[in-house]
A and B are shown apart, each in its own frame.
Chain A
Amino acid sequence: AQSVTQLDSHVSVSEGTPVLLRCNYSSSYSPSLFWYVQHPNKGLQLLLKYTSAATLVKGINGFEAEFKKSETSFHLTKPSAHMSDAAEYFCVVSDLSFQKLVFGTGTRLLVSP
């Protein structure tokens, strides 16, 4: 079965500094991987997805993620944090039998001025 592990429950950065949110996955075959963001009292918004095309995936709002098969990782990065980036971020893997999404436990990103 597919699974993801988000290595940090909380990440704190200052505005203008880089963001790194870490995610490792477990899958018996080439997975589809996603990052979703959830702002307080809002639904989930797709940031980016990897579906076995280019290993470096660019998403919305300046976020990107790199699929590394050798490390079974799919870390999310952004060069410069904005205050508006403060939210909960979920790393997600898609089950290949149907479209069941398996979510990680989430990483709360805190951005200070």
Chain B
Amino acid sequence: ETGVTQSPTHLIKTRGQQVTLRCSSQSGHNTVSWYQQALGQGPQFIFQYYREEENGRGNFPPRFSGLQFPNYSSELNVNALELDDSALYLCASSLASLQETQYFGPGTRLLVL
């Protein structure tokens, strides 16, 4: 069974640029959630995708957007990067059930200069 993978592992961008982060979900999982973890804090929910549709969104501006593909992999796109976007971005996959566990990938560490 393949776990959740994310790419790239690290990324450096400058303010105003755009970035795309990628996530491959665990085999058999149809739901992907994205979280932002700023340094020294707990992860914050960005949004969730289920069967290629956004299924819920946290308190993040529209410049944070996402996609889910037919194979259930996912992308997180962030436009007009700001310094405060520097964080660890975590992807989690699961089955679409309220009691199902979310399995996390290792994350992508984004630094915005």
Contacts of A102 in B (CB 8 A): 45
Residues in chain A near residue B55, CB distance under 8 A: 98
Report the bound CA distance from A94 to B106 in whole Å. Answer: 21
Binds B, one of A14-22, A39-47, A65-73, A79-87: A39-47
15 further A-B contacts with Cβ under 8 Å, apart from A36-B104, A43-B105, are A32-B99, A43-B104, A43-B107, A46-B102, A46-B103, A90-B43, A94-B98, A98-B48, A99-B98, A99-B102, A100-B33, A101-B35, A101-B43, A101-B102, A105-B42
Instruction: Tell me if B94 counts as interface (CB < 8 A to partner A).
Output: yes
Q: How far is the CB of B98 from chain A (nearest CB, A)?
A: 6
Residues of A within 8 A of B (CB): 32, 34, 36, 42-46, 49, 51, 90, 94, 96-106
Q: Is the CB of A43 within 8 A of B48?
A: no
**Chain A residues with CB below 8 A from B90, complex form:** 43-44
In chain B, positions 40-79 with a C-beta closer than 8 Å to chain A are 41-45, 48, 55-56, 58
Q: Is B100 an interface residue (CB 8 A)?
A: yes
Chain B residues with a Cβ under 8 A of chain A: 4, 31, 33, 35, 41-45, 48, 55-56, 58, 90, 92, 94, 96, 98-107
**A106-B41 contact given A43-B105, A44-B90, CB 8 Å threshold:** yes
The answer to whether B31 and A99 have CB atoms under 8 Å apart is yes
Find out whether the CB atom of A96 lies under 8 angstroms from the CB atom of B98.
yes
| Residues of chain B within 8 A of A99, CB atoms compared | 31, 33, 48, 56, 94, 96, 98, 100, 102
* 23 A-B residue pairings within 8 Å (CB atoms): A34-B101, A43-B90, A43-B104, A43-B107, A45-B104, A46-B101, A46-B103, A49-B101, A90-B43, A94-B99, A97-B56, A98-B48, A98-B98, A99-B96, A99-B102, A100-B33, A100-B56, A100-B58, A101-B43, A102-B45, A103-B43, A105-B41, A106-B41
